[in-house]
Amino acid sequence: MQLRYGLNPHQQATAAPIGRPPFRMINGEPSMINLLDADNGWQLVSEASRRLGRPVAASIKHVAPAGAAAAGPVDDVIMDNWPVGDAPTPVLAAYLRARDADPRSSYGDLVAVSDPVDLELARFLGGVISDGIVAPGYQPGTVELLRRKKRGTFLIMEADSEAAIPAEELRQVGGLMITQQTDHDGIGPELLPHLEADDRDTALLAMITARHTPSNTVVAARDGAAIGVAAGQQSRVDCTRLAVGKASAWWFRRHPATRSITGPPGTRRQDRLSLQLALAAGDPTPLEARQLHAELGDRLPMTADRAAWLARLDRVIMVHDGAIPFRDNVDHAARIGTTMIIEPGGSTAADTVEQACTEHGITLIRTGRRLFLH
């Protein structure tokens, strides 16, 4: 397959199957990044769906999930931002929840869903900025709808659910060819003993999301959806702080003041979301600060109000792909109502980390399973 280009437009690239291809192109001409996104997204949603027994969706950007979620309740904030009717179908609900984790990062994403695309999802995608989709099938009429996106260049890929993942993966690095076993080790309930069903499903989703996110990775999740995914940080505590910040912004987008923001007359939906995120994250640009003050005035939340609202966030499960090296990771996690931390264990500071969890009332689970991806 001749690709549109490699990682950059000046790099030519081709792709050839090794055995049975994992998916086929229905529409569009992918780049190398598009294929990497599609492969990683499909592996994530198919694995998570098998474990949870319900549809799962992911919003992929630059080979990392901006969000991932199982089908479940769609709250009023999501409905305010993306009106889709009173009862979204399960596959649409999963994607709405995934895109809601970080709607700024999901702008121009590659969509991955574990179940066939239905008309409701296809219609929704027609109204948002997205580059393509990978799914195991397409209901009648959906491909025709999706072909209209991006002047006919929207990528439509059909995953082969029966295609086997190779037992080994190869990578050429300089003058070396590295071969390693594919990471097939199961992530299942046996790693999470004694958890209630809801916590178990959220934890499994977060662990599978971490497995398919470039390391260092920390995933904050709640109610079957990732609400803060941090990827590719050199320092684990920086990764934790990033996940905490994203989860905090997700929660603060549910504050009445944030929900009331419409922006200046004629503001587009994505610009409105960006303005809401600027307030939610607490770091508006000078222009955004002026727009927020003009719209909210005395209703602009102050520091104490923000702290009180954040204190209401609870039941967050945090997953680390590697061992936690210092207690500061736990202290930061406690700021967003984290009730459970899952890590491989094995750090030299294991006792200190465990003590910090006890002080904050956080359940600590050590799985012995590292989930690095590079």
Q: Which residues are catalytic?
A: 61-62, 216, 374
- Asked if 71 and 53 touch (Cβ cutoff 8 Å), the reply is no
Sequence-distant (6+) residues with CB within 8 A of 44 are 56, 58, 65, 68, 112, 208, 209, 211, 212
Judge whether 77 and 96 are in contact, CB under 8 Å: no
Distance, in Å, from the CA atom of 111 to the CA atom of 351, rounded to the nearest integer, reads 41
What's at 316, amino acid-wise? Answer: V
Radius of gyration of the chain (CA): 21
To the nearest 10°, report the CA torsion of 46, 52, 57, 60. -70
User: What span, in angstroms and rounded, lies between the C-alpha atoms of 292 and 58?
Assistant: 31
End-to-end CA distance of the chain: 25
Between CA 238 and CA 235 the distance in angstroms is 5
Ordered strands of the 23-27 beta sheet: 23-27, 155-159, 130-135, 109-113, 56-61, 64-70, 225-230, 218-222, 316-320, 338-343, 363-366
State how far the alpha carbon of 280 is from the alpha carbons of 159, 288, 292, in Å. 37, 12, 11
The region that residue 25 occupies, defined by phi over 0 for left and psi between -120 and 50 for alpha, beta otherwise, is beta
Contact criterion met (CB below 8 Å) for 339 and 333:
no
